[in-house]
Chains A and B, each alone.
Chain A
Amino acid sequence: MSATPLTYQLPDHLSSDQFIKQLHTKLSFVVAAQYPLVKTFYDSFDWRLYHASMVLEFNQSESVGVLSLMNIHHPQVLMTMELERMPTFAVDFPQPDFMQQLQLVLEMRALLPVMQLNGDYALVNILNSDQKTVLRLVIENYATLPGRIRIQTIKGYDKHVLALILLLQTEFALQAVDEPLLIEACHAQRKKIGGFSSKLKLRLEPEMRTDDVCRYIYINLLERMAQTEQGCIDNIDSEFLHDFRVAVRRTRAGLSQIKQVFPKQSMGQFIEFFSWLGHITSGVRDIDVYLLNYESYKNSLPEAYREDLEPLQQLLLSKQRRAYEQLARHLTGSVYQDGIEEWRDFLETPIELYEMDIAASLPIKHYADQRLWKVYKRLLREAGNIDPQSPVEALHGLRKTAKKLRYLMEFFQTLYSGTRIKLLLKALKTIQEVLGRIQDLEVQKLALKRFREELRKLNTPEQTLLAIDALINELDRRKNAARFTYTESYEVFSQKKNQQAFRELFASGTQTQT
């Protein structure tokens, strides 16, 4: 039955009441339910359900709320449950099946309403001669879209479905609809489908001027900050701040690495502003990370210690609450608002050519080659001085250089052969992740020591302090293990094949400079 069209559109001249009335002469049925309906589609800010081919639909009437998880391409209900209020996170769902399925896709992301339709709902049970329901029709009218009829099949009664389809197509001249309702509604309301993505999709041409490309990159990043800013203020979920910070970090990498383009005297204030933004958001993000890792922390301990860790979670939650309140004050305050406004003005206001720095008019490909090759060589130089015993600070320095190189490569990647630069990015990402893990575990270990001290002063039971000690030891063990994977990942990154690819991609246009 999978290829059989099961959804039909009601033409403008046929209301659902009229349809039901006309159906009386053709079939035996009962109207099992009929009521005004508010239909709300939920997804995460980055539409994770949609990208996993799922739709979460909450149908509310005065007396009942029914939540259905459906496949977007077939009108097939995967799961359904009655619900009074929509939970925010997958973990808050009362039904284990729903919770598990949604958690797999949504992880830490909150569910948000992405589309709402008002209308009427009717459920019609089609009966056979024994008055047994052999299939159901869900008829929905919407205020802003054409109505739809959806056939709900009942196992073992396929032949009735085919007969009904014939009736709908010949007697009522109804047309089957392929387009999912959510997509149709988004098109009708000119809403972007697919939501937010933190991935940069810049389309660059080799001959573009460097200053134009810089503006394009910065404006793109500024838009991402604007899109995620309110989610940070409202503390919807941890990923808003994460994405906000990624845009800030990329901007900072641009400001520090793409030099000699804009007038030097104008850039100082922006470098300072974005550094401040990095600073005011970093503590909050750290607490988010501790809480996101909390279950993994807990599960890494022997079972007997796990519940003793609870006061740590409470401490982190209260710190998180305060940190977000402070962040909201910053993001709604004048320093941030004025800083962003000035940055936008700067990017949107043309600058006299004579005021620009020497690299402004260079073709971007030429400029990108130079910068990428230079930063790559610096990375190799720094990495040459590192071994598994090097101090954490040296590894952190290397991580920062790797990150700068990665951001630059991501900015300029459309200037280079698609697959080669992607492979190099992947290799770079691997080494960057190892370095990141070492640094994060060190920072987390130090933070845990601070939290332990705070809890000790609050007369927290000794068992909790012991559990935290065990956790600190565990993080130290993981950090040391990660250090040993560094050598291996660096060897992969710096293998001849990759060095050759870096040289061919970036050094060919910069022979005179190298």
Chain B
Amino acid sequence: MKIIAVYAIKGGVGKTATAVNLAYLSAKQGLRTLIWDLDAQGACSYYFRIKPKVKGGTKGLLKNKADLDHLIKGTDFDGLDLLPADFSNRNFDLLLDDKKKPTQQLRKLLQQFEGQYDVVFLDCPPGITLLSEAILTAAEIVLSPIIPTTLSLRTLEQLKAFIQANKLDNLQFVPFFSMVDRRKKSHLDYLQAFTEQYPEFLKAMIPNASEIERMGIERMPLTAFDCKTRSAKAYQQLWQELQPII
């Protein structure tokens, strides 16, 4: 079982859209896939038309030996299940803080899915919190969408420093460009500069396109309702690039 966190310190960079589309492509490829909506906003659950509600709330999730299986919902797509968000996820940090070894909690919870799923995607809320630390401890790959701007570069550096400081040596850090607008000169300049400075960036770039916003209307992954668009192809390329890593 491979655990992939789609994570960025900054908000609004396309994390959920990425997690949703990659999870769909993973299931379509025949991998038993779970996506866990950890964000209290519940956008990921919304995209799959699943109520952002978990029996017992976040507190229930974090109980000792909590059985998460009965909280999982099947999506409309074969092989793809979702652990929905809950509004109480906003208290994740506080609840984790009450536990012994808080950063190990998610890893322990996810162990119960070993053998049941091939890939687990964690759709993470933004910020750099105790929950982020628990997520990065649980994941084997952190897939990080980066907008080609100065602020994003700053968060990229912060994230790398955070991984290093917490000695998450087994965590594979995989950044890629997101919400790229090729009409903007600044984006083009940053793309060039970032690529030279950070060779670890994947080649696939997700454009800043209106078709991705249509996911909110169709309420399903873009790759499911219109796989021929530029953005859908970019997600497919991103998934292909991830294959050797997974």
The reply to whether B49 and A132 contact each other, CB–CB distance below 8 Å, is yes
The reply to whether B73 and A155 contact each other, CB–CB distance below 8 Å, is yes
Question: B51: which A residues are within 8 A, CB to CB?
Answer: 130
Kindly report which residue of chain A lies nearest to residue B51, judged by CB atoms. A130
Q: Select B48's contact among A80, A95, A132, A155, beta carbons within 8 Å.
A: A132
The reply to whether A81 and B50 contact each other, CB–CB distance below 8 Å, is no
Question: B70: which A residues are within 8 A, CB to CB?
Answer: 156
- How big is the A interface, by class? 10 to 19
Question: B30: which A residues are within 8 A, CB to CB?
Answer: 81, 95, 97
Q: Select A156's contact among B74, B76, B78, B219, beta carbons within 8 Å.
A: B74
Question: Interface 1/0s, chain B 55-92, versus A by CB < 8 A?
Answer: 00000000000000011111010100100000000000
Q: In the bound complex, what is the Cα–Cα distance between A227 and B70 (angstroms)?
A: 51
Question: B76: which A residues are within 8 A, CB to CB?
Answer: 125, 132-133
Question: A154: which B residues are within 8 A, CB to CB?
Answer: 73-74
Question: A130: which B residues are within 8 A, CB to CB?
Answer: 49-51, 219
The reply to whether B72 and A131 contact each other, CB–CB distance below 8 Å, is no
A157 at the interface (CB under 8 A from B): yes
Q: Could you tell me the dominant secondary structure of chain A's interface residues? A: loop
CB distance from B240 to the nearest CB of A (A): 18
Q: In the bound complex, what is the Cα–Cα distance between A157 and B51 (angstroms)?
A: 12
CB distance from A154 to the nearest CB of B (A): 4
Question: A97: which B residues are within 8 A, CB to CB?
Answer: 30
Q: Select B72's contact among A80, A133, A156, beta carbons within 8 Å.
A: A156
Q: Which of A437-468 contact B (CB under 8 A)?
A: none
Question: Interface 1/0s, chain A 153-193, versus B by CB < 8 A?
Answer: 01111000000000000000000000000000000000000
The reply to whether A155 and B49 contact each other, CB–CB distance below 8 Å, is no
The answer to whether residues A155 and B81 also contact, given A132-B76, A133-B76 and a CB cut-off of 8 A, is: yes
Q: Which of A210-234 contact B (CB under 8 A)?
A: none
CB distance from A242 to the nearest CB of B (A): 35
Question: A155: which B residues are within 8 A, CB to CB?
Answer: 72-74, 81
Q: Which of B4-48 contact A (CB under 8 A)?
A: 30, 48
The reply to whether A131 and B49 contact each other, CB–CB distance below 8 Å, is yes
Q: Which of A376-411 contact B (CB under 8 A)?
A: none
Which B residues form the contact surface with A (CB < 8 A)?
Answer: 30, 48-51, 70-74, 76, 78, 81, 219
Question: Could you pull out 29 A-B pairs where Cβ atoms are within 8 angstroms?
Answer: A80-B78, A81-B30, A95-B30, A97-B30, A125-B76, A130-B49, A130-B50, A130-B51, A130-B219, A131-B49, A131-B219, A132-B48, A132-B50, A132-B76, A133-B76, A154-B73, A154-B74, A155-B72, A155-B73, A155-B74, A155-B81, A156-B70, A156-B71, A156-B72, A156-B73, A156-B74, A156-B81, A157-B73, A157-B74
Which A residues form the contact surface with B (CB < 8 A)?
Answer: 80-81, 95, 97, 125, 130-133, 154-157
